[in-house]
């Protein structure tokens, strides 16, 4: 199996790469701006490095021939999602995992709601909601991940998963937990298909993230 990570040089992209290399025998195509220099230390017989931007769909398409799944490690609006969905369809890709953020459906509730909306705005009125709608309307075997505020904590992979339509109350989650969950989705350990999921850390229904 080969997985393409779009936005591979970001923090979570790097963590997913490390998890997949350590926990699977998958081959990886790591795509992003200047990844051949930024991720040079990952180069191996299992890793292909491709330089490009999210808008450079021709380069993305040219490297999809042997890819089985694509993970978009970037919160993208419809300006990026529309052409990306087109090339995924043309290349015959089915499995697609895309990052997004909570409150696409006004689902952020409880003590966290006031701080979250003060700091992010009305997410359900933005093109992030449009992007999610477009992914859901496709015939992809998609997963949308609405990820709350992020921080780093080694070995903390605790995650609480909520489905679309359920309230979202968690104020924070580790990048390590998100990366492991993405890895589990790609291996099938987390068995979700055509789902829109919220990711938070259990027990963090705070008024704001603990690191603020």
Q: Which domains does the chain have, with CATH numbers?
A: 2-200 (3.40.50.720)
The pLDDT assigned to 210 comes to 98
The pLDDT assigned to 125 comes to 97
Q: Where are the alpha helices (DSSP H) in 24-162?
A: 35-38, 57-62, 78-91, 113-120, 127-137
Closest to 98 (Cα-Cα) out of 71, 67, 131:
71
Give me the torsion for CA of 108, 82, 20, 42, rounded to 10°.
-120
Burial 30-50 (b: 16+ CB within 10 A, else e): bbbeebeebbeebeeeebbbb
Sign, CA torsion 197/107/177/67: positive
- Report the distance separating Cα 200 and Cα 146, nearest Å: 9
- Report the distance separating Cα 206 and Cα 2, nearest Å: 39
Closest to 14 (Cα-Cα) out of 34, 30, 36, 37:
30
Contact (Cβ atoms closer than 8 angstroms) between residue 172 and residue 209 = yes
The pLDDT assigned to 166 comes to 98
For strands 141-147 and 160-163, give the pairing: unpaired
Contact (Cβ atoms closer than 8 angstroms) between residue 135 and residue 78 = no
Which segments of the chain have a pLDDT < 50?
none
The pLDDT assigned to 160 comes to 98
pTM of the model as a whole? 0.97
Q: Provide CB contacts within 8 A for 191, sequence distance 6+.
A: none
């Amino acid at each position: 199996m080969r997985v393409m990570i779009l936005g591979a040089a970001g923090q979570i992209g790097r963590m997913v790469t490390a998890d997949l290399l350590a926990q699977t025998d998958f081959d990886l195509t790591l795509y992003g701006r200047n990844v051949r220099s930024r991720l040079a230390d990952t180069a191996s017989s299992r890793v292909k490095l491709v330089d490009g931007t999210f808008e450079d769909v021709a380069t993305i398409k040219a490297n999809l021939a042997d890819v089985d799944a694509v993970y978009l490690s970037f919160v993208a609006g419809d300006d990026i999602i529309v052409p990306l969905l087109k090339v995924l369809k043309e290349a015959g890709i089915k499995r697609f995992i895309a990052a997004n953020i909570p409150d696409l459906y006004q689902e952020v509730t409880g003590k966290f709601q006031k701080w979250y909306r003060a700091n992010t705005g009305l997410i359900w009125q933005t093109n992030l909601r449009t992007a999610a709608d477009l992914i859901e309307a496709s015939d992809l075997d998609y997963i949308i991940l609405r990820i709350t505020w992020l921080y780093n904590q080694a070995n903390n992979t605790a995650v609480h998963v909520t489905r679309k339509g359920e309230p979202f109350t968690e104020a924070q989650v580790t990048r390590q937990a998100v990366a492991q969950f993405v890895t589990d989705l790609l291996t099938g350990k987390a068995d979700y298909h055509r789902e829109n999921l919220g990711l938070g850390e259990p027990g963090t229904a705070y008024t704001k993230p603990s690191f603020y």
